[in-house]
Structure 1
């Protein structure tokens, strides 16, 4: 009988070890799954940033095409200049009425900025004339900066590359707080 008791006690201990091993395995598995979820969330945030950047590039290309389609657009880049918080008002609807090149520039700029606001989350844009001029004194470049809301996961120090100021020549533009910006210079 004594031998039976020892075997029964060993069997109970073995059952307890199996349960403990199972719990440890479940904890390890849960930590692995949480780690994979963290990597997946970071990848999703980076993908969203890439998509937003591609949308910004397309929007800037749209403005460039609008300027090129304006008969005097390349000669009058100053008509396309607007700061971040500037209210652009187009007095004439150029889709149904004949417009002067200056009116068309105002119409294009308003329509384009509305498109930026609709396409990107908290989308904003600033356009500015660069300090570079050609031999006739005309501006050579139009700077276009498009900004959108920073992803919640991009609040670390790595994301500051796209949220600080940009400088080319003597022209400096600052990205507004809480936005990621993309800057392109349009050359006539």
Structure 2
């Protein structure tokens, strides 16, 4: 009787050990899953912070352009997703329009090198239809990152999730598929005013400090 009882207890101890190992393994897998999700969310937050800094960089470039709100100048800031502006140089001096084109190219390359598969679109605000009186630019920065997608999400759910990043109206700019976007508007202003003493065909500019 004593020998049979010992063998039975030994068998039960083995089963209990296996159950304990399985429970511990499930707990470890749960902790790893939480850590991985936390890491993804941290990376997303870091990328969004970088996108905000990049937009601030462009805003500062626009602010330093003496004639940024002039129609012939601000059009040179416009760029679409997928565009790669040609490299230009202002080493020997630039007009306000050339400076805008230079800043657009330099800034877009900065976006591409800073964010994972980074891209950006710069466009006129949809509700500003007066070409001679535009006061802001829309800037949408996008990048590729893996985010957790719920199995129950439909195409309509995904479209609703991205709705805040869809710009309606004349601009018709929306967040590209399978990307994360950050949308922000930056002001346009003139630091230099036209001085038309020689006529509109040959304007000079007065730039108060």
Class of the TM-score when normalised by the shorter of the 2 chains: 0.7 to 0.9
* Equivalent pair of 2:124/2:137 in contact (CA under 8 Å): yes
Change (3 A) 1:60 1:137: same
- Of 63, 78, 81, the residue aligned with 2:78 is 81
Distance between the aligned counterparts of 2:16 and 2:53, measured in 1?
A: 56
Aligned to 1:16: 11
Q: Which moved more, 1:133-142 or 1:157-166?
A: 157-166
1:14, distance to aligned residue in structure 2 (A): 0.6
TM-score by length of 1: 0.86
Aligned to 1:102: 97
* Equivalent pair of 2:69/2:133 in contact (CA under 8 Å): no
* Equivalent pair of 1:123/1:148 in contact (CA under 8 Å): yes
Aligned to 1:3: none
Distance between the aligned counterparts of 1:159 and 1:46, measured in 2?
A: 18
Aligned to 2:24: 29
Aligned to 1:69: 64
* Equivalent pair of 2:165/2:182 in contact (CA under 8 Å): no
- Aligned: 1:183 with 2:183: yes
Cα shift readout 1:99-154 (whole Å, capped 9, x = no counterpart): 00111001100000000000000000000001333988411220000000022x43
Change (3 A) 1:131 1:163: closer
Matched pairs, number: 180
Instruction: Tell which has more relative contact order, 1 or 2 (C-alpha 8 A, sep 6+).
Output: 2
1:175, distance to aligned residue in structure 2 (A): 1.2
* Equivalent pair of 1:150/1:179 in contact (CA under 8 Å): yes
Cα shift readout 1:56-110 (whole Å, capped 9, x = no counterpart): 000000000000111112333222111112231244x11x220001110011000
Distance between the aligned counterparts of 1:172 and 1:119, measured in 2?
A: 26
* Equivalent pair of 1:90/1:103 in contact (CA under 8 Å): no
* Equivalent pair of 2:74/2:97 in contact (CA under 8 Å): no
* Equivalent pair of 1:127/1:145 in contact (CA under 8 Å): yes
Aligned to 1:173: 173
Distance between the aligned counterparts of 2:140 and 2:120, measured in 1?
A: 6
Query: 5+ residue gaps in structure 2?
Result: 189-209
